[in-house]
Amino acid sequence: MELGKRNKLIAKRYAPQGMYLEDAKGNEVLLPNSRLPKGHKIDEEMEVFVYRDSEERLIASLQLPFAEVGDFAVLEAKQNTSFGTFMDWGLDKQILVPFKEQHNPILEGSLCGVYIYIDELSERLVASARLERFVEKEPKDLEIGAEANLLLIEKTELGFLAIADNRYRGQIYHNEIFEPLKVGDKVKAHIRKVREDGKVDFLVQAMGVQNIEVNAQRILSRLEKDGGFLALNDKSSPEEIKDKLSMSKKTFKKAVGTLYKQRLINIDDKGLSLNK
- The pLDDT of residue 65 is 94
128's CB contacts (< 8 A; 6+ apart) are: 97, 101, 114, 115, 117, 134
Helix intervals (H) in the chain: 214-225, 238-245, 249-261
Q: What's the average model confidence in pLDDT over 122-149?
A: 88
- List the one residue out of 107, 105, 127, 129 whose CA is nearest residue 116: 127
Q: State phi, psi for 38 to the nearest 5 degrees.
A: -70, 140
**Mean pLDDT value across the chain:** 88
Domains of the chain are 6-61 (2.40.50.140), 72-133 (2.40.50.140), 147-209 (2.40.50.140), 212-274 (1.10.10.10)
Q: Running DSSP on this structure, what letter comes out for residue 36?
A: P
Contact yes or no for 204/176 (Cβ under 8 A): yes
Nearest to 73 by CA among 16, 116, 123: 116
Residue 211 pLDDT more than 50?
Answer: no
Length of the chain as a residue count: 276
Flag the least confident range among 85-99, 138-152, 205-219, 234-248.
205-219
pLDDT, residue 178, reads 64
Percent of the chain having pLDDT more than 70? 96
β-bridge mates for residue 30, sequence order:
20, 59
276 has pLDDT over 50: yes
Nearest to 138 by CA among 198, 192, 186: 198
- Give the predicted TM-score (pTM) of the model: 0.71
| pLDDT surpasses 70 at 206 | no
Quick: pLDDT tens for 18-43: 899 999 999 999 999 888 877 778 89
